[in-house]
């Protein structure tokens, strides 16, 4: 598989150099942008496979960059944030970012995220949008029949658990925030909905644990959930 073309958006020159040196070492192609404006221009002219986007940019909020890119493209966006920018990170995910890295991050972590993005891209390209079923490891969801099976055994899910599962499947590989999920499931996002979400997610996960695989649903504390592409 061809290595990805990565657009690196970061105003801090030393961090940017570290990232591009790592990418070069691993054979990735890349372009660099030090500002949000430059990022939007480069995203449209180079059409990268993935954007690595620092949230602390001098000229605009990271979420604004995402909203503008999302106006015409679904390219994967991985945001990079400092721990003090947790609220910005969640805003970025709500604006349509796919994943995040928290500074300071290791080179191994960065490479792992890019590989995960590559797997997700390969998966998205190979599965036709009209697919009426979804398969991930031992899990199979048949959208037409409204059923889910694990290793061939039917899962007995409540309607809300099933809706949650479908939402995670349709966004496999992507971190979904509490707000995003509760909006999709209940059409609103109050504190109480987020508390209910935790309960539903816990029971859904218990039902899925039979797989014996790595945990298929990851919890991102204070952020949300992700279904991992197995
Ligand atoms: Ca910065």
- Residue 168 Cα, ligand 1 centroid: separation in angstroms? 31
pLDDT score of 210 more than 90: no
Give 33's contacts (C-beta < 8 A, 6+ positions apart): 7, 8, 9, 39, 41, 42
If you measure from the C-alpha of residue 58 to the centroid of ligand 1, how many angstroms do you get, rounded to a whole number? 7
How is 156-214 classified by DSSP, letter by letter? Answer: ---HHHHHHHHHHHHTTTS-EEHHHHHHHHHS---HHHHHHHHHHHHHHHHHHGGG-SS
Average of per-residue pLDDT across 158-183:
94
Distance 12 CA to ligand 1 centre (A): 5
Which is more confidently placed, 1 or 132? 132
pLDDT in tens, 91-125: 999 999 999 999 989 999 999 999 988 888 877 66
Q: Is the pLDDT of residue 191 over 90?
A: no
Which of 230 and 64 is assigned the larger pLDDT? 64
Q: Name the pTM for this structure.
A: 0.82
The DSSP bridge pattern shows strands 147-150 and 153-154 to be antiparallel
Residue 214 has pLDDT above 70, yes or no: no
pLDDT, position 121: 81
Please give the distance, rounded to the nearest whole angstrom, from the Cα atom of residue 206 to the centre of ligand 1.
40
- The structure tokens listed for 70 are 């999302």
Neighbours of ion ligand 1 (CB under 5 A): 11-12, 54, 56
pLDDT tens-digit profile of 123-170? 766 655 556 889 998 899 999 899 999 989 999 999 999 999 999 999
Mean pLDDT calculated for residue range 180-201:
91
């Amino acid at each position: 598989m061809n290595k990805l073309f990565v657009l690196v958006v970061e105003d801090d020159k030393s961090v940017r150099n570290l990232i591009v040196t790592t990418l070069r070492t691993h054979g990735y192609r890349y372009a660099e942008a030090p500002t949000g404006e430059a990022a939007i221009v480069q995203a449209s002219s180079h059409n990268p496979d993935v954007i690595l986007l620092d949230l602390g940019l001098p000229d605009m909020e990271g979420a604004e960059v995402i909203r503008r890119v999302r106006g015409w493209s679904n390219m994967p966006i991985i945001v990079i944030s400092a721990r003090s920018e947790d609220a910005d990170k969640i805003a970025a995910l709500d604006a349509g970012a796919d994943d995040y890295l928290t500074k300071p991050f290791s080179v191994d972590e960065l490479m792992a995220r890019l590989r995960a993005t590559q797997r997700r891209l390969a998966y998205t390209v190979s599965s036709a949008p009209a697919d009426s079923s979804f398969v991930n490891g031992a899990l199979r969801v048949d959208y037409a029949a409204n059923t889910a099976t694990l290793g061939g055994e039917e899962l007995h899910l409540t309607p809300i658990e099933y809706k949650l599962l479908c939402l995670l499947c349709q966004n496999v590989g992507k971190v979904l925030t509490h707000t995003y999920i509760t909006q999709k499931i209940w059409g609103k996002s109050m504190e109480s909905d987020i508390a209910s979400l935790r309960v539903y997610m816990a029971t859904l996960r218990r039902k899925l644990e039979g797989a014996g695989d790595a945990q298929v649903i990851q919890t991102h504390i204070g952020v949300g959930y992700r279904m991992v592409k197995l």
